[in-house]
Structures are given as structure tokens and as C-alpha cells.
């Protein structure tokens, strides 16, 4: 499967999309279930509806796409040059639960910049 295919949202309705609360990658819940979050495999979202509900949110605003993160000024501005190509939320509401953050850090995961506007 092409890199763009797995990280590009397949839903055309914004209310069916979810954003990863760690990296802000936007995809459908179905896509998160099939492939997880390509930037955050340590979250263990594959085939885990409960985990998808805890680690992603439909409450986000703004959407931007990055095709070549290393060359993109937007990726540099948003500090995502090391992340995968795809669609990202400008702002994400909500936070990962503390136990998931602890588990993530223990398993070598990295907490990305929080994009919540409510802070």
C-alpha cells in the first residue's frame, strides 16, 4: 500500500474523522483500526476500538496536508518534519490519559507537541 493511501483520510465527512491526540494525524476510525497511527505505533490502536476512543478525538479544528515533510515549510512551522505524510489537525481538543502516556514513554514512544487550544 502506498504511504499516502494509509495516511490519507478516506471519509469525506469531517464529522467521521478523528485526530490522534499525540501527533494530530487525522484519519477515520476505521483507518486507525486497520493501521493504527503510523506516527505512534506504540499507542497500539490496531483492532482496538476502546484504545481508539481513548487516544483519538473527533474534536479538532483546522486541517492541513503534508506530502513531503522534510521539504514542507508547513511541516517545519508545525514541527512535524519527522512525521509521516498525511493530513493533520491544527488544533486538537483533549489529552491522552495519564496511564497511556506513562505506558507510551516506557515503550519508547515520544510525546509530541500538544495542539490543544483550550490550554
Distance CA 117, CA 59 (A): 11
Distance CA 7, CA 88 (A): 10
Residue 119 confidence (pLDDT) above 50: no
Q: What is the 3-state secondary structure (H, E, C) of 31-73?
A: HHHHHCCCCCHHHCCCCCHHHHHHHEECCEEEEEEECCCCCCH
pLDDT averaged over every residue in the chain: 86
Q: Domains (ranges, CATH) in the chain? A: 14-107 (3.30.40.210)
pLDDT above 90: percentage of residues in the chain = 67
Residue 8 confidence (pLDDT) above 70: no
Report the pLDDT value the prediction gives residue 118, as an integer from 0 to 100: 46
pLDDT tens digits for range 102-117: 888 887 777 766 665 5
Amino acid at each position: 500500500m502506498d504511504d499516502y493511501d494509509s495516511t490519507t483520510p478516506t471519509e469525506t465527512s469531517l464529522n467521521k474523522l478523528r485526530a490522534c491526540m499525540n501527533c494530530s494525524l487525522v484519519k477515520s476510525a476505521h483507518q486507525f483500526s486497520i493501521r493504527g497511527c503510523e506516527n505512534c505505533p506504540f499507542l497500539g490502536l490496531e483492532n482496538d476500538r476502546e484504545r481508539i476512543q481513548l487516544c483519538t478525538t473527533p474534536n479538532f479544528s483546522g486541517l492541513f496536508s503534508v506530502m513531503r515533510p522534510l521539504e514542507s515549510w508547513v511541516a517545519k512551522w508545525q514541527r512535524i518534519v519527522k512525521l509521516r505524510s498525511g493530513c493533520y489537525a491544527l488544533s486538537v481538543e483533549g489529552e491522552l490519559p495519564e496511564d497511556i502516556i506513562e505506558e507510551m514513554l516506557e515503550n519508547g514512544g515520544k510525546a509530541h507537541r500538544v495542539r490543544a487550544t483550550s490550554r
